[in-house]
Amino acid sequence: MFLGTMAAVSRPSASSGAVATPSQVQAAIAGLTDRDFAVLQYEAGRICGKYRELSPDDAGDLLQDAFQSVIEERRYWQPANVALVPFLIGVMQSLAHNYHKHMKGSRSVSITYEHQLPPTEDGSSAIDTIAADGHASPEETVSELQELALVETGIAILRAQLTQHPESLAILEGLLDGKEKKEIRQDLNIEWTTFWSADRRLTRAIEAYKRSI
C-alpha cells in the first residue's frame, strides 16, 4: 500500500556512519521489546489519523511497510546515528506523507502535529509543522529525524506511563500545548497540593525517560 508511493533516496556516504545490513535490521526488529512495539503501534495509529486518506485501520500496514522498507534497504538505518524505534517512526511519517501526497497529487503539503512543544520566542512551535516540498522527507535528514522522532517517541512513552495518573497526564498535555502551569491547574480545578504532587510525578517520569536514552 505505502511502498508503491515511496520516494527513492540515495545511500548515505560511509563517512556519515555504517548502514545496517538486512540481517542486522531483522535481528534488531526481532529484539524489539513489548514496549517498543507498543510505541510503534501507537505512533502508526497517530500518524494514520493525521491524513484524511488513511484511518487507524491502516496502522498495521504502515508499520509492516516501514519494517519492509528498512529490511529491503529502501531506507537506510545507521545505528550509530539514531536508534531503531525513532528511525522507524520517521520512516512511517515519510511513508504516510508520500502516500498522502500521491493521493492528493499535490507538490506541497504541511504535516501539523496535534501535540506540540511549547512555543519558541517568535511564537512558533519547535515541531509544529514539517514543510515538505516534494523532495524532503524526515529520514532523509538525520538531524531532523532525531529531533522529531525522539521527541515523538518520548511523548508516546510518557503518555503510556501516565495513563493511570490522569492529573499528571493532563499537565503533560497542557505543557505540550504551551500553557503555563497556573493555567493548567485552573483548567483541572484541583488544589495546589494535588497539582504539585502530580507535577512531581511527571517530572520523575521525564527524568527517568531521559536516563533511558
- pLDDT tens per residue across span 55-72: 888 888 899 999 999 998
Average confidence (pLDDT) over 66-87: 89
Average confidence (pLDDT) over 138-151: 48
DSSP tag of 125: B
Residue 163 CB neighbour total at 10 angstroms: 9
Q: Which of 68, 107, 105 is CA-nearest to residue 88?
A: 68
Listed in sequence order, the residues at least 6 apart from 206 whose beta carbon sits closer than 8 Å to its beta carbon are 158
Which pLDDT score, from 0 to 100, does residue 113 have?
Answer: 36
- Please name the residue that has the C-alpha cell 560511509: 14
pLDDT band at 191 (very low <50, low <70, confident <90, very high): confident
pLDDT reading at 122 higher than 50: no
Which pLDDT score, from 0 to 100, does residue 71 have?
Answer: 92
Contact present, 60 and 95 (Cβ < 8 Å): no
Which pLDDT score, from 0 to 100, does residue 23 have?
Answer: 93
Q: Which of 27, 30, 56 is CA-nearest to residue 43?
A: 56
Q: How far apart are CA 187 and CA 183, in angstroms?
A: 6
Name the pTM for this structure.
Answer: 0.52
Q: How far apart are CA 194 and CA 23, in angstroms?
A: 50
Which of 122-136, 151-165, 185-199 tops mean pLDDT?
185-199
Listed in sequence order, the residues at least 6 apart from 185 whose beta carbon sits closer than 8 Å to its beta carbon are 192, 195
DSSP tag of 170: H
Q: How far apart are CA 151 and CA 62, in angstroms?
A: 20
Q: What rounded mean pLDDT belongs to the chain?
A: 75
pLDDT reading at 172 higher than 70: yes
Which pLDDT score, from 0 to 100, does residue 175 have?
Answer: 84
Q: How far apart are CA 33 and CA 104, in angstroms?
A: 36
Listed in sequence order, the residues at least 6 apart from 122 whose beta carbon sits closer than 8 Å to its beta carbon are none
